């Protein structure tokens, strides 16, 4: 999943202008570079970001979705937590809604996904961009993420979203200190087993890597991102959300071959040496 930010304040991209044609050109390049999904976002949700209105968010994403829909072969996702934005984005061509709040900010979003037949990504977080860091306290990281995402799944199903259309994201970097984000990656097999749904993991260029990378800025963290993407796939992630589509497509596909080789080695013939 390649990240197509159409915001002026992304933490990891150069500021994006309002030109939908330029955004579509970027999306086409991401597709050519190996992206399987393009995730279009019109509001930065980095820690400390200021919220934007639904009207402003729609003004950013709708022209891009409408222009890209007839030109891209890969599916489009919209990165939003607002029901109003999700409804219009689906009508404009998005088939996935990527909700960073796990239905906590706008529960009506679940009904929109159900009515429009969209897939729904529910991410784990606590608080909002301004308060999430203060809420990053865990006694049982896997257990608490599992329980809190489970509540979102229950809400989605109650609204009519079929379980098979729900994808879960443990929220690397959201309401998590660096040790928690590393813990999510290290314990991803346990999370995958406990959650029982396909997992999306988005470690790309995030600040949890900053200390390990000697305080490099976000745009300089692609090598660290490659390590995190590899760990995520070996741990069972089905989708990885990244900025550098060309480089990370290579990383993801090699990591997937390693994962598959490990699965074969643990199969019933492994003990015989076949």
pTM over 0.85: yes
Angle between helices 20-32 and 54-69 (to 10 degrees): 60
Helix (H) or strand (E) holding 78: strand 76-79
Angle between helices 108-116 and 83-91 (to 10 degrees): 20
Task: State the pLDDT at residue 18.
Answer: 62
CA distance 71 to 60: 18
Residues with a catalytic annotation lie at 206, 241
**Helices and strands, counts by H and E, the chain:** 9, 8
For 210, other C-beta atoms within 10 Å of its C-beta total 16
- pLDDT tens, the chain, 274 aa long: 999 999 885 555 555 556 899 999 999 999 999 999 999 999 987 767 788 999 999 999 999 999 998 899 999 999 999 999 999 999 999 999 999 999 999 999 999 999 999 999 999 999 988 899 999 999 999 999 999 999 999 999 999 999 999 999 999 999 999 999 999 999 999 999 999 999 999 999 999 999 999 999 999 999 999 999 999 999 999 999 999 999 999 999 999 999 999 988 876 544 444 3
Q: Which CATH architecture has domain 2-272?
A: Alpha-Beta Barrel (3.20)
Task: State the pLDDT at residue 274.
Answer: 39
Spell out the domain ranges in the chain.
2-272
């Amino acid at each position: 999943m390649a990240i197509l930010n159409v915001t002026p304040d992304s933490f990891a991209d150069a500021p994006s202008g309002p030109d939908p044609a330029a955004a579509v050109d970027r999306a086409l390049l991401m597709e050519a570079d190996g992206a399987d999904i393009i995730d279009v976002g019109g509001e930065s949700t980095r820690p400390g970001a200021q919220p934007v209105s639904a009207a402003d968010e729609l003004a950013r994403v709708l022209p891009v979705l409408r222009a890209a829909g007839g030109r891209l072969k890969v599916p489009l996702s919209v990165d939003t937590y607002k029901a109003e934005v999700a409804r219009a984005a689906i009508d404009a061509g998005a088939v996935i809604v990527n909700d960073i709040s796990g239905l906590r900010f706008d529960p009506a979003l679940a009904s929109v996904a159900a009515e429009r037949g969209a897939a729904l990504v529910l991410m784990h977080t606590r608080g909002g961009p301004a308060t999430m860091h203060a809420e990053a306290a865990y006694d049982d990281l896997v257990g608490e993420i599992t329980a809190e995402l489970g509540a979102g799944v229950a809400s989605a199903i109650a609204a009519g979203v079929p379980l098979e259309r729900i994808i879960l994201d443990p929220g690397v970097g959201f309401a998590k200190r660096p040790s928690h984000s590393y813990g999510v990656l290290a314990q991803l097999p346990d999370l995958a087993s406990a959650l029982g749904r396909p997992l999306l993991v988005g470690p790309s260029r995030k600040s949890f890597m900053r200390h390990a990378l000697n305080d490099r800025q976000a745009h300089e963290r692609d090598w660290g991102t490659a390590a995190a993407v590899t760990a995520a796939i070996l741990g069972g992630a089905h989708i990885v959300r990244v900025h550098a589509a060309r480089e990370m497509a290579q990383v993801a596909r090699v990591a997937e071959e390693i994962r598959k080789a490990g699965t074969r080695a643990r199969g019933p013939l492994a003990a015989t040496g076949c």
